[in-house]
Chains A and B, each alone.
Chain A
Amino acid sequence: MAEASHDVVHRHEPPKSFIRKYIFSLDHKVIGIQYILLALSAVIVGMIMSVLMRMNLSWPGTHWPIMGTLFPTGAPGGVMSAEFYLSLVTMHGTMMVFFVLTTAPQGGFGNYILPIQIGAEDMAFPFLNMMSFWVTFVGFIVLLLAIFAEGNATVGAWFTKLGASAWAGGSGTVGSIGGWTQYAPLSALGKVAGPGQGAGVTLWIISIAIFCVGSLLGALNFITTLLNMRTRGMSLMRMPLTCWAWFTTAVLALLSFPVLLAGGILLLLDRIAGTSFFIPGGEYVSGALIPNHAGGSPLLWQHLFWFFGHPEVYIAILPGMGATSHILSTFARKPIFGYRAMVFAIFAIGMLGFFVWGHHMFMSGMSPYSAVAFSILTLSIGVPSAIKTFNWIGTLWGAKIRFTTPMLFAIGFVSVFVAGGITGLVLGQTSLDFFFHDTYFVTAHFHLVMGVASIFGMFAATYFWFPKMFGRMMHEGMGKLHFWVTFVGVYAIFIPFHAMGMLGMPRRYSNFSEYEFLKNSHGLVLFVTVAAIVTVTIQLLFYFNFFWSMFKGKKASDNPWEATTLEWTTATPPPHDNFAGVVPTVYHGPYEFSVPGAPRDFIMQTEPEGVEVTAGLGETSGNGGNGHKH
C-alpha cells in the first residue's frame, strides 16, 4: 500500500516525466482516458468483425480476395469457412462485452468523473488504479494474441509447442470457437473438439482471467473512494446519479468477477492440468474415447459463468443509465424526477441481478423447478427498470429541452433501452423461451439493450464530458449527423432480428441455407447487413470528430453546459489534483435546475445558500426536500 501514501494533504505538482505523466500515470484522469482509448480500439475490432459476420451471412460463398490473402486457411480462396465465422462471433462478443462495455463506462468515464464529482483529488488507491488499467491492457493483448495464435500459422506454431491439445494453434480461425459464453465441455476438451479449440480457447480463458483481476482492482478502488473521499457536504443523497450508478456497478463487479475468475481457473485446469471439473466420463469425441476424464459437470460451468454473466450485463448498462439520468436532467433544465426512486431502482436492479442468472439456462437441463423461480425473479427485475424509464420521461415532462448532441443520445438511450428491455419480458418466461432460446430474438434483445443502449450511454457521456476532458467542444454538426444515422441505423439493424427470431432462426449459424424454414429470411438478412455497413461506416465520423476536436474543436469554458455538479466548478481541463488544492464544499443536491427566484436557471452544488426554496417541497420525492425531514 506504499502508493496510498502518494496522496498528501497539500496540493501536489503533477509528475514531470512523460512516462509517469501519460503512460504509468497515477492520475485518475489520465487512467480514465487510457481506458476510453482502450475501448475505442477494442470496438473497432468488434465492429470490423461484425461487418465480416454480416457479409458472410448475407452473401455466403462469395470470394473476398483480401480475406483469402489474410486468412489462407480460415477463408480459403477468400470464402469464409464456418469455423472462421464462429470465431468471429466469439471474438466479436468477447471484445464488445468485456473490452468495450466493461472498460469505457466504468474504468473510463467512472474513473475520470467520479472522483471529481464527489470532490476528491484522486482515487483512494492511485497505484491500484494504475494497475487495474495495465492489467486490463495485458488482458487485451492476450486476447489479440488469441486471434493471431489461431489465425496465423507461424504464431500458431509457437503455441503448439506448449502442448498440442490445449495450445495447438494455426487452425485459420480468428480465435476460439465457443461464443463469448464458452460452454464446457466444448471449451474444455482442446484440439480434439475441432478447429479453433486450441490456443484460441486457452488464451481466451487466460485473457478473461486477467481481465477479472483488473476489474476487481478497479471495483475495490471505486467503492473505497466513494465511501471515503466525498468532500465536505457531499452526503450520499447529494451525489449525482452517475456516482450511484458507478458505485453499484463497482459492487456488482466486485462480487461477480471473482466467480468468473473461479470458473476460468477450473476451465483452464481442465484443459492443461488434466482435471475433470467440467468434463464428464465416457466422452466420445471425433471418433475416439476421451481417456482419464470422468465425473465433471458441464452445467457447473454454465452456473459459474451466468452467475457472473447476468450481473455483467448490468455492469454494462448501469453507468449508461447514470449518465443518461445526469444528462437528461441537465439539458431538460429540470431536476431529475424522483431522485430517491432512481437511487432505489439502481440498487434494486443491482441486487436482483444476482438472483436471475438461471434465465439463461432454462433449456440447459437444470432443475425445472428452479427455472420457475428464476423466471419470476427475472420479470420482477423489470419493475425497477420500468421505474427508471418512467422517471426519465417524468424528467422531460414540463422541461425546457436543449437538443445538444449528448442530449440526443441520452433520449436515444431511453428509447432503445425500452425497445430492448421489453423483449426481456418475453425471454424471461420459461414457456416462451422454449421457442426463443438461442434464436435471433435473443440476439435482438441484447443488442438493443447492450449493443445499443449501453453504447448510446457512452456516446452521450463522450459528447457531454469531452469538453471537460480535453478543454475543447466536440463539433456539434458532426455529432448530430452521427446521432441521426446511428439512431436510425441501429434500429434498422436490430429490430429485424426479432422477425428472424419469430421464424425460429438459431444463433451462431454461419449459414442459413441448410433449412427450409429459414428460406423466408433472405430479405431480412440482407436488409440488416446493409444497415449494419452504413451504421458502422458512420462511426468513422465519430472517431474523426473525437480526434479532430481534441486539437481543432472550439475552446470550452469551465461550464459550457451550465451544469451544476462539481466537475464543472473546476478548471477545464481540471488540474492534476482536480481542485487546485482547495476543498470544495457542497451545499445543494446535484440537480437544482430552474429553481424559482434563483438568479440563473441552475444552482451549482458549491454555491452557498442563496434564496430559500419552498416550491414543490410538499410533493417532493427526491433531493429537493432539505434533509431535516429525515
Chain B
Amino acid sequence: MGRILAIALWFITVASLWMFLSHRWWFPEAISEHGPRVDSQFAITILVCGIAFAAAQIGLGWTVWKYRDSADKQRATYSHGNNRLEVVWTIVTAVVFISLAVMGQRVWASLHLHAAPANAYRIEVVAQQFDWNFHYPGKDNLLGRTKPEMIDDATNPVGLDEADPNAKDDAQVKTLVVPVNRPVELILGSKDVTHSFWVPQLRFKQDLVPGMAIHVHFTANKVGKYELACAELCGMNHFKMKSYMLVLPENEFNELTALPNDKGQFLTRKDQLLAKYPLPTY
C-alpha cells in the first residue's frame, strides 16, 4: 500500500507540474506596460510554490514508501520533535513568504499608490446589468456632469446632464477605445449593482461599485481589439456582459476623439475601427 500511495503522490505531482510547465494553458499575451511585470512576478511565485509543492509531495511520498509497516521492522523511532528544525523551517518559510509578499506589491503600488500621470486620457465607465457604457469627454477634454435622473437606457445611458456646457460634445459608446502607449485614466462607476472591469490581456481588474467613483489608470502598449468581460456576479446575464477594448494608434485615436458627436459621426467611425481590427488568435 505504501509503495502505491507514494507512486500515486509522485504521479500527481508530475502531472500538476506538467500542467504549468507545458504552457499549454497560459496567460493570453500581455498588452499593458505593467503586464510583463505581473507575468514575471507570477513566474517567480509559481517557481517557489512549485518547488515547495514538489518538495512536500515527494517528501510525503518518500516517507510513506520508506516507513511503511513491515513484520520484520522494529518499533518506530521515539521522538517528540526537534526544536532546532522547527526554528529553521519557521524562519526559512517566513523569509520566503514575506519576500514574496513584498515583491508582490510592486506592480500594485505602481498602479494604485500613484495618481494618474498628467497626460492621462480620462474616460468615464458606467456599468449596468448587463452592459458597458463609456463616456468620452469630446473635443474639450472635459467630462460633462451626469445625473441618475437623466438616465434613459436608449438615448442617454450614462445620464448626461445636457444643461452642463461640458456635456455638449461628450460621446457615449458601448466600446472602450483607448490610445496606445498613452496613460488612460478610467473613472469607474455603476448604475445598479457591483460589476468588475476585466480585460485578461491588460492584466487588470477593478470592481465598479454603485455609489463610488473609482479612479484607476494603466497604459496599453499594443494596438488591437480585446474582449472586455465582467468579473463580478451581477445577475443572470453576468456571463454575457461583454464588450471590447480597442487600442488604437495615436493618430487614429486623436482623429476619432476629435469627431463631433451631434450626428453620431463618432459612433460610425468607432464601429468602422472596431471592424477593422481583428481579435488576437488564441
Given contacts A186-B234, A194-B235, A499-B25, contact A415 B57 (CB under 8 A): yes
* Interface stretch (choices A255-263, A291-299, A537-545, A551-559): A291-299
- Would you give the 0/1 interface string for B63-102, flagging 1 where the beta carbon is closer than 8 Å to chain A? 1100111000111111111111110011001100110111
A390 contacts the other chain (CB 8 A): yes
Residue of A nearest to B200 (CB): A504
By the criterion CB–CB under 8 Å, are B128 and A376 in contact?
Answer: no
Partner of A403, one of B27, B69, B90, B234: B69
Interface residues of B in 20-69 (CB under 8 A from A): 20, 24-28, 37-38, 41-42, 45-46, 48-49, 52-53, 56-57, 59-60, 63-64, 67-69
By the criterion CB–CB under 8 Å, are A517 and B200 in contact?
Answer: yes
A269 contacts the other chain (CB 8 A): no
CA distance A352 to B202 in the complex (A): 33
Q: Which residues of B contact A403 (CB under 8 A)?
A: 1-2, 5, 64, 68-69
Residue of B nearest to A334 (CB): B76
By the criterion CB–CB under 8 Å, are B105 and A504 in contact?
Answer: no
* Interface stretch (choices B166-174, B190-198, B269-277): B190-198
- Would you give the 0/1 interface string for A614-627, flagging 1 where the beta carbon is closer than 8 Å to chain B? 01100111111100
Partner of B235, one of A186, A368, A394: A186
CA distance A375 to B41 in the complex (A): 15
The count of A-to-B residue pairs whose CB atoms sit within 8 angstroms is 390
By the criterion CB–CB under 8 Å, are B27 and A504 in contact?
Answer: yes
By the criterion CB–CB under 8 Å, are B238 and A86 in contact?
Answer: yes
Partner of B192, one of A283, A390, A491, A503: A283
B258 contacts the other chain (CB 8 A): no
By the criterion CB–CB under 8 Å, are A335 and B79 in contact?
Answer: yes
By the criterion CB–CB under 8 Å, are A287 and B194 in contact?
Answer: no
Residue of A nearest to B201 (CB): A517
By the criterion CB–CB under 8 Å, are B93 and A411 in contact?
Answer: no
Partner of B212, one of A365, A396, A408, A514: A365
- Would you give the 0/1 interface string for B110-138, flagging 1 where the beta carbon is closer than 8 Å to chain A? 00110000000000000011000000000
A479 contacts the other chain (CB 8 A): no
Q: Which residues of A contact B9 (CB under 8 A)?
A: 415
A272 contacts the other chain (CB 8 A): no
Residue with the highest number of chain A CB atoms closer than 10 Å, among B89, B106, B109, B203? B89
By the criterion CB–CB under 8 Å, are A508 and B49 in contact?
Answer: no
By the criterion CB–CB under 8 Å, are A429 and B238 in contact?
Answer: no
B267 contacts the other chain (CB 8 A): no
Bin the interface of chain B by size: 35 or more
Given contacts A338-B86, A432-B41, contact A400 B73 (CB under 8 A): yes
By the criterion CB–CB under 8 Å, are A425 and B49 in contact?
Answer: yes
CA distance A57 to B227 in the complex (A): 20
B253 contacts the other chain (CB 8 A): no
CA distance A176 to B15 in the complex (A): 38
Partner of B81, one of A339, A380, A508: A339
Residue with the highest number of chain A CB atoms closer than 10 Å, among B149, B234, B235? B235
CA distance A487 to B78 in the complex (A): 30
Q: Which residues of B contact A195 (CB under 8 A)?
A: 236
Smallest CB separation, B201 vs chain A (Å): 8
Given contacts A82-B237, A391-B81, contact A284 B94 (CB under 8 A): no
A516 contacts the other chain (CB 8 A): yes
Q: Which residues of B contact A364 (CB under 8 A)?
A: 194, 207, 209
Q: Which residues of A contact B238 (CB under 8 A)?
A: 82, 86, 508-510
Residue of A nearest to B228 (CB): A515
Given contacts A400-B76, A620-B80, contact A419 B193 (CB under 8 A): no
Partner of B206, one of A86, A365, A498: A365
Smallest CB separation, A266 vs chain B (Å): 16
Smallest CB separation, A135 vs chain B (Å): 29
B205 contacts the other chain (CB 8 A): yes
Interface residues of B in 212-253 (CB under 8 A from A): 212, 214, 227, 229-240, 242
Q: Which 5 A-B pairs have the closest CB atoms?
A: A280-B211, A429-B104, A624-B80, A504-B200, A368-B112
Chain A interface (Cβ within 8 Å of chain B)? Answer: 81-83, 86, 177-179, 183, 185-186, 189, 193-197, 280-287, 289, 296-299, 332-341, 363-365, 368-369, 371-372, 375-376, 378-380, 382-383, 386-387, 389-391, 393-394, 396-403, 408, 411, 414-415, 418-419, 422-423, 425-426, 428-435, 437-439, 480, 484, 487-488, 491, 495-496, 498-500, 502-504, 506-512, 514-517, 519-521, 524, 593-596, 601, 613, 615-616, 619-625
Q: Can you list 15 contacts pairing A with B, beta carbon distance less than 8 Å? A: A186-B193, A296-B211, A297-B211, A299-B212, A335-B80, A387-B86, A399-B77, A418-B56, A429-B105, A430-B108, A495-B19, A503-B26, A504-B28, A596-B78, A623-B80
Apart from A280-B210, A429-B103, A517-B28: 4 A-B pairs, beta carbons within 8 A: A340-B81, A365-B188, A401-B63, A426-B46
